[in-house]
Amino acid sequence: MGEKLLVVNYKNYEQVLGKKSVEMTKAIERAASEHPDVRVVVVPPAVELRMVAENTSLDVFAQHTSGHTPGSRTGEIMAESVKEAGAVGTLINHSEKRLTLAEISSAVKRAHSLGLETVVCTDTVETTGAAAALNPHFVAIEPPELIGGDISVSTARPELVSGAVDVVKKISPGVRVLCGAGVKTAEDVSKAVELGTVGVLLASGVVKARDPYRATLDILAGYE
Amino acid sequence: MGEKLLVVNYKNYEQVLGKKSVEMTKAIERAASEHPDVRVVVVPPAVELRMVAENTSLDVFAQHTSGHTPGSRTGEIMAESVKEAGAVGTLINHSEKRLTLAEISSAVKRAHSLGLETVVCTDTVETTGAAAALNPHFVAIEPPELIGGDISVSTARPELVSGAVDVVKKISPGVRVLCGAGVKTAEDVSKAVELGTVGVLLASGVVKARDPYRATLDILAGYE
Amino acid sequence: MGEKLLVVNYKNYEQVLGKKSVEMTKAIERAASEHPDVRVVVVPPAVELRMVAENTSLDVFAQHTSGHTPGSRTGEIMAESVKEAGAVGTLINHSEKRLTLAEISSAVKRAHSLGLETVVCTDTVETTGAAAALNPHFVAIEPPELIGGDISVSTARPELVSGAVDVVKKISPGVRVLCGAGVKTAEDVSKAVELGTVGVLLASGVVKARDPYRATLDILAGYE
Amino acid sequence: MGEKLLVVNYKNYEQVLGKKSVEMTKAIERAASEHPDVRVVVVPPAVELRMVAENTSLDVFAQHTSGHTPGSRTGEIMAESVKEAGAVGTLINHSEKRLTLAEISSAVKRAHSLGLETVVCTDTVETTGAAAALNPHFVAIEPPELIGGDISVSTARPELVSGAVDVVKKISPGVRVLCGAGVKTAEDVSKAVELGTVGVLLASGVVKARDPYRATLDILAGYE
């Protein structure tokens, strides 16, 4: 009876670049409004972040924020910027944006110091344990070989998901676990929840769907 | 009697995060309007880019764009995004965001395919020659050891600037040269122009100035 | 009354390049022979590793090994290579060779699969906890701002060292803790041991000393 | 009628780790001795480099060297080390070890300052031109999508090879051109030479061959 969370990572799919990011968000928001018991978070690219945040009641996370303080940091994404633009959290260490351990830790601390929520992405049970030791709000385990594919992590590698849940419970019981990779159906989600996660992190399953509204609805049914 | 260009890189100084980026831009724009013969370009962080572009008549460049096409690229900055947000160009390979040679080349090609202008940043005469071979619109030579300091590259290392101008003339005569690092005064700029550049790329000299309007005016006087 | 360990990282100081690495090792070995109760490990550069291992009875570690299996990996250092050359362990994630979390975990697993010992380097209490979750043989906490300096971590930041010892005890009690940065005297070492470590990881304190034999002797006195 | 060069990159294939690197080198050396008009260079991993150099009359190159001077550089490969170990040159920026433009330039300069030959690897005509501007001894164009495959760059993309030869002639006529990727037969080599290169850079075609001696002989026949 705890928190239920769906995180939709927009990545940089052409379906979400520029103004299309607002349409995508509207579709997801519509589906979310039919499942008020699940918290739905959208994760647009940095350039689109402010525009999305200004046009939705959903919570918005950044795809990445730097662990550095403001200064001579050309090309980085400051936690201050995404917060001021309306984000309430950030992904850190996504498999397409891997960081050093020192950078992950700095990014978590900086985000927390500004009141942002953090989701640290990981690839194995071992790295999930390590990420949990940094005390982010969430860890999200995503085996890279399944990302973007057709088989869900919760179906293909249930032992990874339950292993992640167990190691987090042992190391930092307050950290909640998400899983991702290949998630496309309600069944994928309900398995993930059964295995002890609070929900899923997904991308193409919604963003590249013919009808993102319907795809989100399908996914959300898995939380019931 | 050719082009005169001033590029103001906002980096991620606290003076330009969030809504402050618009105020900063207004100040620079006011100074620019008194020197209509110089093209002034501002370079805000990615999150602030759209907001700045919507609130200025100055040309806006991004601080970095990826060489990749849209897709599974969490945390990257797509050329499509910055263009749609109002940017007309981008820095590439800034000293605080160094790329591999292959990435620089891809980023230049991608930006050009979308009609964006490109400024490839370099650190030495040799790398300026290499960057010129990639045919960006501009190269900007900035010796890292002078960046953020009090002595201008055009004063401290004039041979670097003229060497850069010469090697570019030899390899890709259509590419124009900027220089940067330590630029703070009209004299720094007029020396840079005398040495054969079309102007300067600067950051703290304007952005961290007590009065950015006046600092920009001072800099622009150097182009006369 | 447990294990006592001194790890001497040769880095790439000119004092250890080429055949000089063997002389350096002989000096350290001579000092070590006077303190048989302390295990002394030397860590030469990759190119010098085999030559050092063939000319010493001290244990030799590599400065870094890849997490990848043998294959198309130009320029990497395979765990197989360093083992075959005589190394019995490896540093991973040294502050001058930072890796992503996923790479650290892979490198630990690969090294262990070949029977190599592992020392994962970290910078803070938090990252030490994270590294401990990966179950290397050792973690070595080194605050980057003290590396190469004149004040020892055990003197300047004792709470970091004891914090590291505590978090490791909580997360992976079998992992032993080293500390490093600024270590130059017997007192630095004895403080480190008092704080719960099994010893120190150092570099310049021995390698750049006028008399490495005597410097090692001084350091080893701290273990008594 | 000029220089003819064959560069065999050992990568980190299991066939060349440890003492096997010496056997591999002996096989290649035997084939090379039957074609004294072609200069054959072998490129072992860093750990194996000294052992290979001490056991062959062939020229030995490193797979990578740092642009830094000796010092606090844990895990890097110094140009001094590879020279002292017997190497007479180095690859720089191999597709599996990409560097920033600034790093490539530093690595070329450092290697040259010690009298080492340099081969800068590139992926396109544009980056070949850029690399040529840095004045290495050689550039080696290898389209990443063909590396390790069964179709040779000189067969599949002859325009890339001739384009590389042309751009180098224009920018730095003293730089010689190699090509690589998918090279397995004498015909691949003779085409490469016809297109204006001095020869090929290859790896699996020899190193993973059932009989490296015979594979090298076959390749060398293409230079006639």
3-state secondary structure chain B: CCCCEEEEECCECHHHCCCHHHHHHHHHHHHHHCCCCCEEEEECCHHHHHHHHHCCCCEEEECCCCCCCCECCCCCCCHHHHHHCCCCEEEECCCCCCCEHHHHHHHHHHHHHCCCEEEEEECCHHHHHHHHCCCCCEEEECCHHHCCCCCCHHHHCHHHHHHHHHHHHHHCCCCEEEEECCCCCHHHHHHHHHCCCCEEEECHHHHCCCCHHHHHHHHHHCCC
Segment C152-172 shows an average pLDDT of 93
Residue of C nearest to D19 (CA): C84
Instruction: Indicate whether C154 pLDDT > 90.
Output: no
Which CATH architecture fits C5-221? Alpha-Beta Barrel (3.20)
Q: How far is CA A185 from CA A3, A15, B172, C44, in A?
A: 20, 20, 54, 53
Segment C102-126 shows an average pLDDT of 98
Residues ≥6 apart with Cβ < 8 Å to B33? none
- Per annotation, catalytic residue among B112, B126, B142, B194: B142
3+ Cβ–Cβ pairs closer than 8 Å linking D and C: yes
Instruction: Indicate whether C1 pLDDT > 50.
Output: no
Kind and range of the H or E element at D89? strand D89-92
pLDDT at C153: 83
User: B: neighbours with 3+ CB pairs under 8 Å?
Assistant: A, D
Residues ≥6 apart with Cβ < 8 Å to A139? A119, A120, A121, A122, A128, A131, A132, A164, A168, A175, A176, A177, A178
User: CB of D197 within 8 A of CB of D165?
Assistant: yes
Whether C14 and D70 lie within 8 Å, measured CB to CB: yes
Confidence of residue B1 (pLDDT cuts 50, 70, 90): very low
Instruction: Indicate whether C155 pLDDT > 90.
Output: no
Instruction: Indicate whether D208 pLDDT > 60.
Output: yes
Tell me the C-alpha distance between B38 and B174, whole Å.
Answer: 19
User: D: neighbours with 3+ CB pairs under 8 Å?
Assistant: B, C
Instruction: Indicate whether D121 pLDDT > 50.
Output: yes
Segment B167-188 shows an average pLDDT of 93
| Residue A151 or B41, more confident | B41
Tell me the C-alpha distance between A58 and B63, whole Å.
Answer: 29
pTM of the model: 0.96
| Arithmetic mean of pLDDT over chain A | 95
User: CB of B171 within 8 A of CB of B132?
Assistant: yes
Rounded to a whole number of angstroms, the distance from the CA of B63 to the nearest CA of chain A is: 5
Residue of C nearest to D208 (CA): C71
Chain D residues with CB-CB distance to B110 below 8 A: none
Whether D47 and C45 lie within 8 Å, measured CB to CB: no
pLDDT tens for A53-104 read 999 999 999 999 999 999 999 999 999 999 999 999 999 999 999 999 999 9
pLDDT tens for B91-139 read 999 999 999 999 999 999 999 999 999 999 999 999 999 999 999 999 9
3+ Cβ–Cβ pairs closer than 8 Å linking A and D: no
| DSSP-based helix, strand, coil % in chain D, nearest 5 | 45, 20, 40
| Arithmetic mean of pLDDT over chain D | 95
pLDDT tens for B130-167 read 999 999 999 999 988 887 778 888 888 899 999 999 99
Confidence of residue A156 (pLDDT cuts 50, 70, 90): confident
**Cα four-point dihedral sign D119, D120, D121, D123:** negative
Share of chain C above pLDDT 70, in %: 99
Q: Which of D100, D84, D162 is nearest to D134 (CA)?
A: D100
| Arithmetic mean of pLDDT over chain C | 95
Give the 3-state secondary structure of C103-172. Answer: HHHHHHHHHHHCCCEEEEEECCHHHHHHHHCCCCCEEEECCHHHCCCCCCHHHHCHHHHHHHHHHHHHHC
Whether A101 and C171 lie within 8 Å, measured CB to CB: no
- Phi-psi region at B8: left, alpha or beta (left = phi > 0; alpha = psi -120 to 50): beta
Residue of C nearest to A133 (CA): C130
pLDDT at B2: 62
Residue C36, number of CB atoms within 10 A of its CB: 8
Whether A81 and B18 lie within 8 Å, measured CB to CB: yes
pLDDT tens for D35-55 read 999 999 999 999 999 999 999
| Residue C183 or C129, more confident | C129
Which of B72, B98, B123 to mutate to probe the A interface, most A CBs <10 Å?
B72
User: CB of B156 within 8 A of CB of B184?
Assistant: no
Confidence of residue D184 (pLDDT cuts 50, 70, 90): confident
Chain B residues with CB-CB distance to D164 below 8 A: none
Tell me the C-alpha distance between A200 and A223, whole Å.
Answer: 10
Maximum C-alpha span of chain A = 48
pLDDT tens for A41-58 read 999 999 999 999 999 999
Tell me the C-alpha distance between C63 and C69, whole Å.
Answer: 18
CA C74 to chain centre: 25
Structure tokens belonging to residue A102: 């020192």
Query: Chains A and C: how many Cβ contacts under 8 Å?
Result: 83
Rounded to a whole number of angstroms, the distance from the CA of C157 to the nearest CA of chain A is: 18
Annotation marks residue C142 as catalytic: yes
Chain A residues with CB-CB distance to B73 below 8 A: 11-12, 96
pLDDT at A195: 94
Whether B133 and D134 lie within 8 Å, measured CB to CB: no
Rounded to a whole number of angstroms, the distance from the CA of A142 to the nearest CA of chain B is: 14
Chain A residues with CB-CB distance to B85 below 8 A: 18, 47-48
User: CB of C110 within 8 A of CB of C69?
Assistant: yes
Confidence of residue B43 (pLDDT cuts 50, 70, 90): very high
Whether C100 and A102 lie within 8 Å, measured CB to CB: no
Confidence of residue D2 (pLDDT cuts 50, 70, 90): low
User: CB of B88 within 8 A of CB of B58?
Assistant: no
Residue of C nearest to A123 (CA): C102
Rounded to a whole number of angstroms, the distance from the CA of D201 to the nearest CA of chain C is: 13
Residue of A nearest to B62 (CA): A75
Active site residue ranges of A: 94, 142
- Per annotation, catalytic residue among C142, C159, C194, C224: C142
Q: Which of D28, D12, D26 is nearest to D209 (CA)?
A: D28
Structure tokens belonging to residue D15: 């066939």
**Cα four-point dihedral sign D89, D93, D94, D99:** positive
Kind and range of the H or E element at A176? strand A176-180
Whether C94 and D76 lie within 8 Å, measured CB to CB: no
Query: Chains C and D: how many Cβ contacts under 8 Å?
Result: 148
Chain A residues with CB-CB distance to C109 below 8 A: 126
| Arithmetic mean of pLDDT over chain B | 95
CA D54 to chain centre: 20
Kind and range of the H or E element at C60? strand C59-62
Instruction: Indicate whether A1 pLDDT > 50.
Output: no
Residue of A nearest to C169 (CA): A171
Whether B71 and A14 lie within 8 Å, measured CB to CB: yes
Segment D166-176 shows an average pLDDT of 97
pLDDT tens for D49-79 read 999 999 999 999 999 999 999 999 999 999 9
pLDDT at C115: 98
Residues of C with CB under 8 A from a CB of A: 93, 95, 98-105, 109, 122-124, 126-127, 129-135, 167, 171
Rounded to a whole number of angstroms, the distance from the CA of D118 to the nearest CA of chain B is: 15
Q: Which of C90, C192, C187 is nearest to C141 (CA)?
A: C192
Whether B97 and A85 lie within 8 Å, measured CB to CB: no
User: CB of D195 within 8 A of CB of D165?
Assistant: yes
Q: Which of B196, B125, B158 is nearest to D135 (CA)?
A: B125
Judged by average pLDDT, the poorest of A22-36, B74-88, C1-15 is C1-15
Whether C101 and A98 lie within 8 Å, measured CB to CB: yes
Whether D17 and C80 lie within 8 Å, measured CB to CB: yes
Of C18, C85, C94, the CB nearest to D81: C18
